Amino acid sequence: MARIVIIGAGMSGLAAASRLATLGHRVTVCEAGATHGGMVGRYERDGFAFDTGPGLLTLPAVYRDLALKTGREPLEQLVELAPVDPESRHLLPDGTDLLLPNASRGGVVQALDDAFGPGAGARWAEVMNHGRTVWEATRRPLLEEPLPADRTALHTDPYPVPPQRGLLSRLRGPREWTLVDVAQRQLGGHPGLTALLHEHALRFGFVPDTAPAGATVLPYMELSFGVWYVKGGIRALADAVHRRCEQRGVEFRFGTRVTKVLEKDGRACGVETPDGPVEADLVISSMDAGTLFQDRIAKWPGGGDPQEWGHPEVLTGRFVVLLALRGARPPGTAHRTVVHAAVPAREIDALTLSADPCERPTVQVLRPDDPALRPDDDHETAVLTATVPMQGDVDWTAPGVAERYADRLLEHVDAAGLGLRERVLWRVVRTPEDTRRETAAFGGAVPRPALAGRGGDWLQVATESPVPGLHLIGGGAHPGGGLARVGMSACIAAGLVGPA
């Protein structure tokens, strides 16, 4: 039996704790905050309840495996899952109103043909076939296994780029495509199809003109495996995993900030807290890796600053508006509506040029039909989310900046026909600075999934850190951000530790 200290009680920390305790280890979780969940937060007021982080679940197989491996029972006995159908409604600047079914390739093709004309669905399906190629090439090394010592194979984007012709291509030589290339060359530059492709990247914190073509794996995964809702909100999933930890004897120390990873003979041997040291045979950190080393919580071997990774050149955050609405949820309301950017180029400029935030960006609107989230059926909840520059590129704490931007988002979605503003009882605005303050994420940046390509720039730091006895998990480590991937990072770490 090993003594293991886990830094952070976010989803990766909870998942790792439950797996390791089930394997027979003695696990202590130190969490600086007052509760578990990390980015899977919850806000409650006047009978309304909101997820402050992710609101939907993809790849539920990750948490099904967790439930079976830690308790030999299906996930559906821990939480109530429901497929989201339609998967999404898309409102485009030209007035197109598009409904896409959940996990139905044929249904999506037909919906695109109906909206954009014959052949549009086939073009989209071909790009999704290429996304499947990426999935098959990277599923195991990028999602299910520790990063190999030789990562050369992951330095090239596996997206099947067609042979390039012409003198210019011969002079430049082969190059990897971005999502913009995919949209222009394989979707014919169609504005509607381009908006659908780019929306998936933006939602995960990528910017289309720098994101590799392999990011097509993101819409492919949703199309293939579906999108799910946890009744009571995603917070119910965090609560279920926390309960499983308690059942397996995990010790939680909330309000306990880790100030230092302790070492002995060059190996991690515990952590320092304001209440004193906590000794351990192994330390697992779910903190952002950059924060962990750059803030000197862990010592980089040999001294100096860690240079083994760096965030890609564009970092983005999330701007969230929680809306308590008077009036019943209208019949037929889609669970997820995407109001697309009025001028996509302005949105990209705002994310890449440190310009002012785009006033009419791509906005995701979640409106779950869940009685657990509202005081009664005469009220409704809605959550607006947009990808924005992180704290630092924009000072979200400056007087009036956040509230004015929330006004712009409401105006934007109402111009598309949602009619929310006149129904608002109250609202709560959350910026990247809130994310940074609550989770220590660098600049409040969106934790992004790892992708192959561009010399390894899109990979996350490996689970096994340069410090012996210190493992890294969570959105800032392999295989990256998102509910599914942080669950996978916990599984990878547990596999490296092994049974007691």
Closest CA to 4 of 469, 356, 400, 491: 469
Chain centre to alpha carbon of residue 3:
30
Report domain extents, the chain.
Answer: 3-41+52-82+233-309+460-497, 107-164+173-226, 312-439
Q: CA 116, 387, 406, 437: dihedral to nearest 10 degrees?
A: 160
Whether pTM exceeds 0.85: yes
Please answer whether residues 352 and 210 qualify as being in contact, where contact means their C-beta atoms are separated by less than 8 angstroms.
yes
Instruction: Give, rounded to a whole angstrom, the gap between the first and last alpha carbons of the chain.
Output: 4
d(CA 301, CA 308): 12
For 375, the token pair is 């005081």
Spatial separation of the C-alpha atoms in residues 485 and 378, rounded to whole Å: 37
E strand or H helix at 339 = strand 336-339
Q: Which residues contact 13 (CB under 8 A, 6 or more apart)?
A: 6, 7, 29, 31, 38, 284, 286, 473, 474, 490
Kindly give the confidence (pLDDT) of every residue in the chain, 500 residues in length, as a single tens digit, with 9 standing for 90 and above.
Answer: 899 999 999 999 999 999 999 999 999 999 999 999 999 999 999 999 999 999 999 999 999 999 999 998 999 999 999 999 999 999 999 999 999 999 999 999 999 999 999 999 999 999 999 999 999 999 999 999 999 989 999 999 999 998 766 544 544 445 789 999 999 999 999 999 999 999 999 999 999 999 999 999 999 999 889 999 999 999 999 999 999 999 999 999 999 999 999 999 999 999 999 999 999 999 999 998 888 888 889 987 766 555 444 444 568 999 999 999 999 999 999 999 999 999 999 999 999 876 789 999 999 999 999 999 999 999 999 999 999 999 888 999 999 999 999 999 999 999 999 999 999 999 999 999 999 888 888 788 888 899 999 888 898 889 999 899 999 999 989 999 999 999 999 999 999 999 99
CATH superfamily of 3-41+52-82+233-309+460-497: FAD/NAD(P)-binding domain (3.50.50.60)
